[in-house]
Amino acid sequence: MGLAAVFLLAALLTWAARGYALRRNLFDQPGERRSHKVATPRGGGIAIVVSQLMAYAVIGVVRDELAGVLMAFSTGLLLVAGIGWWDDHRPLSARLRLCVHVVAGALLGMLVWQASGDAFKAFFSALLAIGLINVWNFMDGINGLATTQAILAATAFALLLPMPHAGIALLLATGCLGFLPFNFPKARIFMGDVGSGALGYLLAGLVALGITVTDIAWPIWLVPLTAFLVDSGFTLLARMRRGERWMEAHTQHLYQAYVKRGRSHAAVTLDYALFSVAGLTLCAASGELPPVWGSMVALAWAVIGFCIWYMLRNRIVR
């Protein structure tokens, strides 16, 4: 019943966000650094953010012992979503956005430190939050891609987490499902920075939860994120190696390159989904492995992801 309410709320709020964007003239315009061809309203990701915050509020009331943790995590989410919402209305400097992301990441790290007393886990969680906020922003460039990857990653985390923690992952997947019909296969609204950054932070929160409440090897928690981590990470390294201004918007990610070659948004999104479904299956099969073996499996999957990215990238270049 609770998941159905989250789905309906996210769908209703996405519809409302589209109307708001049309009235306020909030559009992403086509251009050389864009992968779409028509002006499209943006900011629909606010629906996912609100659906999650309201769910956390209800959980905090029902489960008093979780209220403090959820309040702190919600504060970080509000910071990330808030700066993204502001940026969707009036572009802000990259430095200001990064400062807010660092504060939100630090909040997540503090929560992990408080729960585990493990400095490595706390630092890893904070750094991952900052990274995923920006990775999801970089990779949110075609219809449905960022949303479907978040759904699949959250589903994988739900399979790995014990109950009731798995329910938090399902809340995220359900909220994204409420937004998805408005963004895929045809985009009637884009997620915007408010949504892409929030998804990155929410997924980092699920990873932080996983490494805190389970003994599963921490690299396993990165397997569902491999598609985005490989494409964004190695594209960034390639741009830095060429001496380009890597902070500027571009269309050099693998998914963007394929769209420029004429492959449809839907086909590329489904290609990435197929890879991530394989990763999800691997996660489900590896959750019970000893940490050393789990780490080796995750490393092998990362190498496979890189090899696929490198092969496809070279094919496009040629």
Is the pLDDT reported for residue 316 higher than 90? no
The confidence score (pLDDT) of residue 238 equals 75
What pLDDT digit, counting tens, does each position of 291-310 carry? 899 999 999 999 999 999 99
The packing angle between helices 192-213 and 67-89, to 10°, is 160
Contacts 24+ apart (CB under 8 A), 123-126: 124/211, 124/218, 125/204, 125/207, 125/208, 125/211
Q: How far is CA 288 from the centre of its chain?
A: 25
Consult the annotation and say whether 193 binds a ligand: yes
Q: Considering its fold, how many domains does the chain have in total? A: 1
- Assign 286 a pLDDT band (cuts: 50, 70, 90): confident
For the segment 215-235, the average pLDDT, to the nearest whole number, is 93
What pLDDT digit, counting tens, does each position of 93-120 carry? 889 999 999 999 999 999 999 999 999 9
The confidence score (pLDDT) of residue 101 equals 97
> What per-residue string of b and e applies to 196-232 under the rule 16 or more CB within 10 Å gives b?
bbbbbbbbbbbbbbbbbebebbbbbbbbbbbbbbbbb
Is the pLDDT reported for residue 182 higher than 70? yes
Q: How far is CA 216 from the centre of its chain?
A: 21
The confidence score (pLDDT) of residue 223 equals 96
The confidence score (pLDDT) of residue 133 equals 96
The confidence score (pLDDT) of residue 240 equals 77
What pLDDT digit, counting tens, does each position of 13-36 carry? 999 999 999 999 888 777 666 666
Dihedral over Cα of 314, 308, 142, 33: its sign? negative
- Containing domain of residue 160, as a range? 2-317
Consult the annotation and say whether 88 binds a ligand: no
For the segment 157-178, the average pLDDT, to the nearest whole number, is 94
